[in-house]
């Protein structure tokens, strides 16, 4: 098996100052990449600014013989995203991959979710990805090569109670990934996603007091960042030629998410009533021979 080598590549990791983001930075640097550690050091709720996390990770990589630079702009803003891209180009002269990992957390029962918090989750996850990936895409399009990794979550795709804003933002990342993958294909740009689970400060915050129990500690100890970071390294590498791939990674298992539609029921007349839906629901929901479209056009073509 050939070693996946990122020597000569430049990778930008948002939210790279702590947790999984830090693990991604270190893994990528270990494989030879020059890393832009992008993190404004806010708290898990999105407030505050601390340059230390990004600077510390970049310094540790350099001390280990790697190449890294810190960027402490706010990726949830247009200016902050562009600043990170420009720093990569000024420092290293190129940009080969982006890992859109930045985000915050807040939990509450749905009826109590404050509007400003919901908007903040969208801003710090989905908009942060958009603000970095959009200018990065233009750079990659010009060079004819790029690898973009969106960090999504099973909490969004499958759902998790009390995480309305987080779930909406993380699922939105997959919609963004799909479009970037389709538009980037002719320019050598792949766009994929990962749904990771690991013992991070966000996970501990959600568990609250349970994180300090024996069962809680055992659970968190089983979710290691080193079980996830290599998956991101693969997706950010030249070895990954697949696009629109979504991988779930935790506890040593790597699996692929399949988003598809059933073959369904087709009306012979082309007309559908509410009663038709009720009477054919078993056929409509039968997952045998699931269709996994690569785009909206693939689904439309399945009926032609």
Q: What are 153-194's pLDDT values in tens digits?
A: 999 999 999 999 999 999 999 999 999 999 999 999 999 999
Q: Which two tokens stand for residue 107?
A: 């939990």
Q: Which two tokens stand for residue 245?
A: 């791939």
**Residue 234 catalytic?**
no
Candidate CATH numbers 3.40.50.720, 3.90.550.10, 3.90.1010.10, 3.90.1170.50; the one for domain 10-256: 3.40.50.720
Residue 224: HSE in the Cβ half-sphere, 13 Å Cα cutoff = 8
Q: Where are the domains of the chain?
A: 10-256, 260-304
- Cβ of 62: how many Cβ atoms within 10 Å? 14
Catalytic hit among 24, 92, 166, 234: 166
pLDDT of residue 185: 98
Q: Is the pLDDT of residue 217 over 90?
A: no
Would you place residue 46 in the very low, low, confident or very high pLDDT band (cuts 50, 70, 90)?
A: confident
pTM: 0.94
Find the mean pLDDT for residues 84-101: 98
What the block records as the tokens of 59 is: 């310094």
Taking the C-alpha atoms of residue 11 and residue 34, their distance in angstroms, rounded to an integer, is 6
- The answer to whether residue 208 scores a pLDDT higher than 80 is no
Q: Is 160 exposed, middle or buried (0-12, 13-18, 19+ CB in 10 A)?
A: middle
């Amino acid at each position: 098996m050939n070693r996946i080598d990122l020597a000569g590549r430049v990778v930008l990791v948002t939210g790279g100052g702590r947790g999984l983001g830090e693990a991604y930075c270190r893994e990528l640097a270990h494989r030879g990449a020059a890393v832009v550690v992008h993190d404004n050091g806010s708290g898990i709720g999105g407030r505050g600014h601390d340059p230390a996390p990004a600077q510390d990770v970049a310094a540790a990589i350099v001390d280990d013989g790697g190449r890294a630079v810190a960027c402490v702009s706010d990726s949830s803003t247009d200016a902050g995203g562009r600043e990170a891209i420009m720093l990569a180009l000024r420092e290293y002269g190129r940009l080969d991959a982006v890992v859109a990992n930045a985000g915050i957390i807040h939990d509450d029962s749905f009826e109590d979710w404050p509007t400003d918090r919901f908007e903040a989750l969208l801003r710090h996850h989905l908009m942060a990805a958009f603000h970095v990936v959009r200018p990065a895409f233009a750079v990659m399009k010009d060079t004819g090569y790029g690898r973009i990794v969106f960090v999504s979550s099973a909490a969004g795709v499958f759902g998790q109670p009390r995480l309305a804003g987080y779930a909406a933002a993380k699922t939105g990342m997959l919609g963004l990934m799909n479009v970037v993958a389709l538009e980037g294909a002719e320019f050598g740009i792949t766009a994929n996603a990962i749904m990771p689970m690991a013992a991070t400060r966000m996970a501990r915050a959600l568990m609250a007091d349970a994180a300090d129990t024996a069962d809680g500690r055992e659970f968190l100890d089983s979710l290691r960042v080193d079980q996830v970071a290599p998956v991101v390294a693969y997706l950010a590498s030249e070895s990954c030629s697949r696009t629109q791939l979504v991988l779930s990674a935790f506890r040593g298992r790597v699996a692929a998410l399949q988003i598809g539609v059933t073959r369904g029921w087709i009306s012979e007349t082309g007309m559908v009533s509410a009663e038709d839906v009720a009477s054919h629901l078993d056929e409509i929901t039968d997952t045998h021979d699931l269709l996994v479209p690569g785009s909206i056009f693939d689904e439309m073509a399945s009926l032609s």
